[in-house]
């Protein structure tokens, strides 16, 4: 439509169009992205459930995506794509605390609020962290381990050596157990790179090499929730020692498979995180940030599960 004789009419038409465009933009729901270390890790299933259910309550859209395997380079590429496309908020569980520093800085340049969940990147420009206080949770694991095993040789199974959350757990654990009564074997901590099969193989190899080992600390429950039958086979005759409190296995997480292993006497204690709450609180914090409110760290807490209270959690 050409309008040269009625400039005022054209002005009114343009103004109406602009108002309609603004109204449509205001009506469009916000989109928040949540990126775990890997979408194939069972632990994150409850995170996904929590964030999606909370997003529905808030009336926002959720983009839940991540690498199929624990691959920090792939995670960074996914994050770069999200930042390039643009979202109203971004929550990340970094595979490597330092690998995401650059992409978080890029997101902040584009005024995208960024938080971390489950695993932190404290040296980045992330606004806050939502999840377990991993240092304190590691201490709780150490207390459970020490109560069952007053002294002896132990090994640590971990995921990636650069994961901040796992390193904090190990630090807290060692604060409690390290001393003249305990010895950490050579090569520990052993990284399974968040791979359950590799985790089981490490358990088997360590027990073969160190037949006098007195216990394991798993900073994550990969062999338990990822390959429970293979884990039981790898433990072999030490299963009887676990039941008799002569060998100790303390692991993170309380997924159903892990609780059943504890109930059956194939591990000694579990340190349960609250992944559903991580998903819910991540959405709440991003929503607040997108509305101009300040963001603060959220400690989602832990549960210590032993034979005495495992039935409560199995319910």
Per-residue pLDDT of the chain (315 residues; tens, 9 = 90+): 344 444 444 433 444 444 434 444 456 899 999 999 999 988 999 999 999 999 999 999 999 999 998 899 999 999 999 999 999 999 999 999 999 999 999 999 999 999 999 999 999 999 999 999 999 999 999 999 999 999 999 999 999 999 999 999 999 999 999 888 999 999 999 999 999 999 999 999 999 999 999 999 999 999 999 899 999 999 999 999 999 999 999 999 999 999 999 999 999 999 999 999 999 999 999 999 999 999 999 999 999 999 999 999 998
Sole residue written with tokens 């095993």 = 149
Q: Boundaries of CATH 3.40.50.2300 in the chain? A: 30-131+275-298, 134-272
Say how far residue 127 (Cα) sits from the centre of its chain: 17
Q: Which helix (H) or strand (E) holds 132?
A: none
Residue 93, judged by CB atoms within 10 A of its CB (0-12, 13-18, 19+), counts as buried
Asked if 113 and 87 touch (Cβ cutoff 8 Å), the reply is no
Architecture of domain 30-131+275-298: 3-Layer(aba) Sandwich (3.40)
Say whether domain 134-272 belongs to CATH 3.40.50.300: no
């Amino acid at each position: 439509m050409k309008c040269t004789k009625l400039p005022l009419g054209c002005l009114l038409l343009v103004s109406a169009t602009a108002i309609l465009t603004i109204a449509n933009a205001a009506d469009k729901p916000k989109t928040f992205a949540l990126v775990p270390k890997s979408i194939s890790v069972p632990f994150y299933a409850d995170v996904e459930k929590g964030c999606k259910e909370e997003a529905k309550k808030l009336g926002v859209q959720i983009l839940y995506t991540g690498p199929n395997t624990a691959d920090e380079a792939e995670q960074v590429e996914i994050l770069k794509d999200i930042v390039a496309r643009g979202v109203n908020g971004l929550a990340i569980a970094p595979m490597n605390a330092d690998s995401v520093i650059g992409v978080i800085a890029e997101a902040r340049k584009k005024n995208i609020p960024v938080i971390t969940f489950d695993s932190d990147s404290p040296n980045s420009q992330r606004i806050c962290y939502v999840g377990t206080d991993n240092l304190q949770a590691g201490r709780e694991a150490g207390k459970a381990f020490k109560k069952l095993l007053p002294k002896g040789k132990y090994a640590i199974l971990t995921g990636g050596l650069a994961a901040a959350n796992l390193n904090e757990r190990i630090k807290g654990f060692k604060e409690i157990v390290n001393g003249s009564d305990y010895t950490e074997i050579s090569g520990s901590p052993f990284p399974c790179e968040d791979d359950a099969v590799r985790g089981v193989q490490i358990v088997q190899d360590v027990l073969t090499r160190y037949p006098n080992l007195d216990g394991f600390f798993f900073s994550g429950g990969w062999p338990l929730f990822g390959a429970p039958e293979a884990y039981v086979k790898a433990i072999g005759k030490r299963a009887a020692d676990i039941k008799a409190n002569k060998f100790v296995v303390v692991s993170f997480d309380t997924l159903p498979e892990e609780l059943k292993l504890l109930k059956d006497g194939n591990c000694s204690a579990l340190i349960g995180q609250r992944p559903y709450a991580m998903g819910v609180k991540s959405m709440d914090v991003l929503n607040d940030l997108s509305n101009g409110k300040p963001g603060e760290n959220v400690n989602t807490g832990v549960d210590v599960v032993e034979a005495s209270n495992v039935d409560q959690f199995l319910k």
